[in-house]
Amino acid sequence: MSDSRPAELARLFPGVMFKTDSADLEYYGRDWTRRWVPAPLAIAFPSCVEDVQGLVRWANTHQVAIVPSGGRTGLSGGAVAANGELVLSLERMNRVLDFDPADRILTVQPGVPLEMVHAAAREHGLIYPVDFAARGSCTIGGNIATNAGGIRVIRYGNTRNWIAGLTLVSGSGELVQLNRGLVKNSSGYDLRQLVIGAEGTLGIVVEAMLWLTDPPPESSVMLLALPSFEALMQVFEGLRARLTLSAFEFFTQRALVHVVAHGAQRPFEEEHPYYVVTEFDADTEEKQDAALAAFSELLDAGLVGDGVIAQSQAQAAALWRLREGITEALAPHVPYKNDVSVRIGAMPAFLAETQALLAREYPQFDVVWFGHIGDGNLHINVLKPEPMANADFVHECSRVTSLLAQALQRHGGSISAEHGIGLVKKPHLSSTRDAAELALMRGIRHAFDPNGVMNPHKLFDGDSTHASYGETR
C-alpha cells in the first residue's frame, strides 16, 4: 500500500517543494559516511520560516522524525535518514540577509555554503574565520550543528566563537531568538550555545548571526618534514613561540602517499614519517626572517629533516592541497574515521599509548593519521582492505574504537573533536560524558523536543519511540 503522507504534505504546504523519487531519497538521505542505506519518507524543501514551523508541527502531530539537512558533508552519520524520516533540506533557505557594520554581524539563512559566507565577509573587508576543505559544499547550518572546527581553530577557535545569535524552530515548532547578537548577555542560560553542536536534536536553525573580524596580515605557508611524533610536538612549541601561527596541521607519510596517488605534487625527494603544513603571519621582513631563523634552528636541532616555504600563492595552494586533499583521496578506500582530541599537554602520553594500541590491533590495515595537532585533534583513518566485507570491517573498527575510547577516558579526551557523534560514535559517547552529564543532556533534549521528533537516535538515544537504527551497508 502506498504511503499517503507525502501527498498530504504537498497539499498542506503548497509553498514547500517535496521530492520522493528514489534517486532523491538516496541522495538526500545520506551524508559522507555511506554506511546506511537511505530510506527517508520524503524530502521537504521549505523556503520560509513559517513553513519550517508548519512542517515541525506536522511531524509532532504525526509522530514522524525529522532529519535537518544541509550540505551532508558530515562524517558521523548525523544527517543520515534511513528510517522513514522526513528530511528537511535547508537548500532553498540560502540567502545572505543582512550586514550590520556597527556590530560587524552578517545574518544568513542556514543553507548558505561556508564559501559563500567567506565571500560575503570579504565584500565588507572582513573575514569569517572558520575554514576547512569542505567549504564549497558544507552549509553554515551544518557547521553550527556540529560546532565545526577546521584548519584555523588554533587562532580563531571553533564555530561557537563566531555565532552572535540564532533563530531556532524548536522541536515543538516554537520560534525562539537566541542571544540576538549581543556581545555581553548575562541573563541566564545561553541557549544559543546549547544549540551549537547539538546535531539537529534540539530544533532547526532558520537564521544565524555571524560575527566577522579583521583579515589577518599577509601570511606565508611552510611545509616541514619531520622524523618523529616527538619532534612534531617540539616543532609546534618552537614555532608557536616565535611566529604568529594561523594553522599547524600534520599528516603522515601514508597520507602523503594517498594524496600524491590522487594527483598532488610530491614535495620532497625523500620520504619522511611526518609532515606539517603551517601558516604564519609574514607581513614584515622581520617576521619573514624570524621564520627562516626558526626553520634553520629546527633543522640544526634535528627536529626537521626538510622544508619549503611557498614563494607564491600557487605554491601555497599546492602545499595546502597536500593536507586538504587527504579526505577526498581516502574516500574511495571507505575509511573508518576516528576524530579524537586530548589536551595538548596530554598528547605525548596519549599518543604513545594509541600508537602501541593501533599497531597491535590493526596489524593488517592501512592506518592514516592526520589532523589539527595544534588543537590536540587527531584524525585516525583506517582504510578498508578491498576484499573485506564492509560490515566485518566496521565491526572490527568499532571494537578497536572501544579500546581507543578507554584510552581517551584515561587521558581526559573526547571521542569527537569536531565531526560530531551522529550515529557513528554514539556507542562510544559515554567514554566522553559521564552518566550524570548524559542525564542532563537527555533532559535538555526533552525540553526542546518533547515528542522526540528532532533527529532521533543521533548523538544519543533520547526518549523517542521511533524505531532504532541498524547498520546496513
- Applying CB under 6 A, the residues found at the interface with ligand MLT are 75, 132-133, 326-327, 337, 371, 379
With beta carbons less than 8 A apart as the criterion, state whether 267 and 308 touch.
yes
Q: Is 143 left (phi over 0), alpha (psi -120 to 50) or beta?
A: alpha
Residue with smallest beta-carbon separation from ligand MLT: 327
- Minimum CB separation of residue 120 from ligand MLT in Å reads 23
Nearer to ligand MLT, 245 or 290 (CB): 245
**DSSP state at residue 113:** B
- Minimum CB separation of residue 222 from ligand MLT in Å reads 19
Nearer to ligand MLT, 75 or 145 (CB): 75
Closest residue by Cα to residue 250 from 229, 275, 273: 275
Nearer to ligand MLT, 191 or 424 (CB): 424
- Minimum CB separation of residue 470 from ligand MLT in Å reads 25
C-alpha to C-alpha distance for 328 and 89, rounded to whole angstroms: 24
Q: Amino acid letter at 120?
A: A
Nearer to ligand MLT, 282 or 340 (CB): 340
C-alpha cell at 417: 573533536
Provide CB contacts within 8 A for 141, sequence distance 6+. Answer: 68, 70, 90, 110, 111, 205, 208
Segments in 246-325 forming alpha helices (H)? 253-261, 285-300, 313-324
- Minimum CB separation of residue 369 from ligand MLT in Å reads 11
With beta carbons less than 8 A apart as the criterion, state whether 280 and 236 touch.
no
Nearer to ligand MLT, 45 or 229 (CB): 229
Segments in 126-190 forming alpha helices (H)? 140-146, 153-156
C-alpha to C-alpha distance for 294 and 242, rounded to whole angstroms: 7
The residues that bridge with 372 in the sheet, in sequence order, are 377
With beta carbons less than 8 A apart as the criterion, state whether 471 and 35 touch.
yes
Closest residue by Cα to residue 253 from 236, 239, 270, 265: 270
Nearer to ligand MLT, 69 or 73 (CB): 73
- Minimum CB separation of residue 93 from ligand MLT in Å reads 25
Nearer to ligand MLT, 110 or 371 (CB): 371
Q: In what order do the strands lie in the sheet with 366-372?
A: 306-309, 219-226, 274-281, 245-252, 366-372, 377-383, 336-341
With beta carbons less than 8 A apart as the criterion, state whether 210 and 163 touch.
yes
- Minimum CB separation of residue 234 from ligand MLT in Å reads 22
- Minimum CB separation of residue 406 from ligand MLT in Å reads 22
Nearer to ligand MLT, 133 or 319 (CB): 133
The 3-state DSSP class for residue 79 equals coil
Nearer to ligand MLT, 327 or 414 (CB): 327
Give the angle 277-280-282 at the CA atoms, nearest 5°: 130
C-alpha to C-alpha distance for 372 and 314, rounded to whole angstroms: 23
- Minimum CB separation of residue 391 from ligand MLT in Å reads 22
Nearer to ligand MLT, 75 or 358 (CB): 75
- Minimum CB separation of residue 379 from ligand MLT in Å reads 4
Nearer to ligand MLT, 107 or 327 (CB): 327
Give the burial string for 449-463 (b: 16+ CB within 10 Å, else e).
Answer: bebbbbbbbbbbbbe
Nearer to ligand MLT, 132 or 229 (CB): 132
Three-state secondary structure string covering 385-439: CCCCCHHHHHHHHHHHHHHHHHHHHHCCCECECCCCCCCCCHHHHHHCCCHHHHH
